[in-house]
């Protein structure tokens, strides 16, 4: 990798600008930076892109048919809160409630504000299930897990919000490894085993408003499990149980697996992370073709090379190499 910095730019994130690009960038970004650093973002509303088939799995506006076993049934005493290694997060460049990453925190505020406005339905063109937010990328190694963790912590700092961070990447399990729950039961086990409920696999943490759902065991046919009625019911339960909760799904890359395109039909908002100088324009277009363009809340441009003196690229590089083993 070249010694570029970790930078973030946004599309459609500035509050009140439904289709315009926001001015945000990661710490130390040039004030006059433009998204051209990574090439133009394709027009996601072009007729050739299309939207997922009407027959594809998606969440309805009314409850699913009866008879699907609830996944949020409480059973037995709650587990003690998971102790988060905040020092590990800090070394990985992740925002934490106790660390002073002022520029990173401010940049994340620009991004999360638009997502929270959508989740609250405060726009005229409000989306269904806006509190279900999928973070993905076109290909591996573009920074989606790094961004997912930072976004979750940033939203956790909100006064009236709680966050559930879900690891949907059963192959790499980046979120699970970062938070030390890679050996725990998780989403895949919940989908496969009828004896489990959400309480069995979810982890409250000692970061007050942050809850984790690990990826779980590697299982065959994860795509079919993601497309199942049980997954549909789980997503509806998550969306409707707590009006103050935001659920962030760290999804596999769209071009690397098929389960991401299935998950994209079940969420209300999608954030696509792309890496400057790494993500090919054709790959970005192919990734956008797999999702409903109306759900793409923004595009995050990562690792821009406009300036190199910042330490944030180094933070991402350390995170990618040391904590995920890539």
Q: Where are the domains positioned within the chain?
A: 89-323
CATH class of the 89-323 domain in this structure:
alpha beta
Residue 88 reports pLDDT greater than 80: yes
Question: What are the φ and ψ backbone dihedral angles of 90, each rounded to 5 degrees?
Answer: -65, -40
What does the alpha-carbon distance between residue 121 and residue 101 come to, in Å, rounded to a whole number? 30
pLDDT (tens digit per residue) in 155-190:
999 989 999 999 999 889 999 999 999 999 999 999
DSSP β-bridge partners for residue 271: 135, 298
**Strand spans (E) along 214-283:** 245-250, 269-275
pLDDT band at 60 (very low <50, low <70, confident <90, very high): low
- Looking at per-residue confidence, does 248 or 315 come out higher? 248
- Looking at per-residue confidence, does 118 or 308 come out higher? 118
Q: Residue written as tokens 């973030």?
A: 8
Specify the pLDDT at position 105. 82
What proportion of the chain, given as a percentage, has pLDDT over 90?
Answer: 46
Cα 219 to Cα 202, 216, 234: the distances in Å are 18, 9, 18
Rounded CA Rg of the chain? 18
Mean pLDDT in residue range 87-108: 81
pTM of the model: 0.75
Cα 289 to Cα 12, 13, 168: the distances in Å are 18, 21, 21
Per the prediction, the chain carries an average pLDDT of 75
């Amino acid at each position: 990798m070249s010694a570029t910095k970790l930078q973030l730019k946004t599309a459609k994130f500035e509050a009140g600008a439904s289709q315009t690009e926001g001015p945000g960038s990661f710490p130390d970004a040039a004030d006059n930076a433009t998204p051209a650093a990574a090439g133009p973002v394709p027009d996601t509303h072009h007729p050739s892109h299309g939207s997922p088939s009407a027959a594809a799995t998606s969440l309805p506006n009314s409850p699913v048919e009866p008879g699907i076993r609830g996944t949020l049934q409480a059973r037995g005493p709650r587990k003690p809160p998971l102790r988060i290694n905040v020092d590990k997060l800090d070394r990985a460049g992740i925002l934490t409630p106790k660390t002073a990453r002022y520029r990173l925190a401010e940049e994340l505020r620009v991004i999360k504000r638009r997502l929270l406005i959508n989740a609250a339905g405060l726009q005229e063109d409000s989306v269904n299930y806006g509190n279900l937010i999928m973070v993905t990328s076109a290909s591996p190694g573009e920074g989606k897990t790094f961004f997912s963790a930072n976004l979750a912590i940033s939203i956790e700092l909100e006064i009236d919000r709680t966050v559930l961070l879900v690891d949907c990447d059963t192959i790499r399990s980046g979120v699970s490894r970062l938070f030390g729950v890679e050996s725990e039961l998780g989403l895949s086990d919940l989908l496969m085993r009828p004896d489990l409920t959400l309480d069995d696999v979810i982890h409250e943490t000692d970061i007050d408003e942050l809850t984790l759902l690990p990826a779980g065991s590697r299982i065959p046919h994860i795509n079919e499990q993601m497309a199942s009625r049980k997954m549909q019911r789980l997503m509806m339960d998550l969306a409707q149980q707590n009006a103050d909760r935001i659920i962030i799904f760290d999804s596999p890359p769209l071009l690397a697996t098929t389960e991401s395109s299935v998950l994209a039909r079940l969420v209300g908002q999608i954030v696509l992370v792309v890496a400057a100088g790494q993500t090919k324009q054709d790959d970005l277009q192919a990734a956008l073709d797999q999702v409903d363009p109306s759900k793409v809340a923004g595009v995050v441009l990562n690792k821009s090379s406009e300036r190199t003196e910042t330490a944030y690229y180094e933070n991402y590089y350390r995170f990618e190499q040391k904590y995920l083993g890539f």
